Amino acid sequence: MTDHLPEHVRVLVAEIETEIGESDDAARAAPIEGGGRIRGGADAGGGARVEDAVRDILLEIGEDPERQGLVGTPDRVHRMYAELTAGYHVDPDRLVNGAIFDVAYSEMVLVRDIPFYSLCEHHLLPFFGSASVAYIPRGRVIGLSKIPRIVEMYARRLQVQERMTQQIADFINERLEPQGVGVVVEANHLCAVMRGIRKPGTVMTTSAVLGLFRTRDRTRAEFLSHLQRPTPRG
């Protein structure tokens, strides 16, 4: 249940879980905008703790939390983190929502270049890029829109790229029981650009391969060759 969540997070969770028009929450979606501490409900105490922690950080770095530009920052940061970590609240069953179909098809299915934005759990800095997900059906396929939603569910959590890549592959494998699954994720990490080694343009690539993608060289090579082809232009 998501009734305890702030409205803007509840709407975002509904958008990840459901198709347009399927959810009453999605139909009532309002723009996500700043303003207003969340009052009442289970979130109130946690929200206050987050906002107090942000004020402490501002004081620690030598800022004045009461100056005009910062007075609303604790509330905005609280709302931002609730939004960026909405994936914790997505119900996988509602996301799939029965969109698994029996199909006499056994060739590779690939969804490429799915954009995502996530937060590195080590520094709470963003990493972002794209994911490509492939599987070889064993008589069952999943609705096309569900694969980007799966990526979104895992991206909107505190993550390391390696784990997120494996989670996406495991989810497809468990739900479809296909002959094989392959996932490749490429991302830029701001923790490597803004701090530390400070190397702009550094791209991290991770992969997870299961079933035929792991055991059959030809299948893995076909997957990688598809990734190297130019993206079709609409």
Judge whether 120 counts as a catalytic residue: yes
CB 180 within 8 A of CB 136: yes
Kindly name the residue from 22, 121, 174, 177 that is annotated as catalytic. 121
Kindly name the residue from 63, 191, 222, 226 that is annotated as catalytic. 191
Judge whether 4 counts as a catalytic residue: no
Judge whether 107 counts as a catalytic residue: no
Judge whether 7 counts as a catalytic residue: no
Judge whether 89 counts as a catalytic residue: no
Non-local (6+) Cβ contacts of 66 within 8 A are none
CB 18 within 8 A of CB 97: yes
Cross-strand partners of 204: 187
Kindly name the residue from 4, 7, 122, 174 that is annotated as catalytic. 122
Kindly name the residue from 8, 78, 89, 189 that is annotated as catalytic. 189
Inter-helix orientation angle 161-176/146-155, to 10°: 140
Judge whether 123 counts as a catalytic residue: yes
Non-local (6+) Cβ contacts of 56 within 8 A are none
Judge whether 159 counts as a catalytic residue: no
Q: Is 97 left (phi over 0), alpha (psi -120 to 50) or beta?
A: left
Kindly name the residue from 8, 78, 159, 161 that is annotated as catalytic. 161
Catalytic residues: 120-123, 161, 189, 191
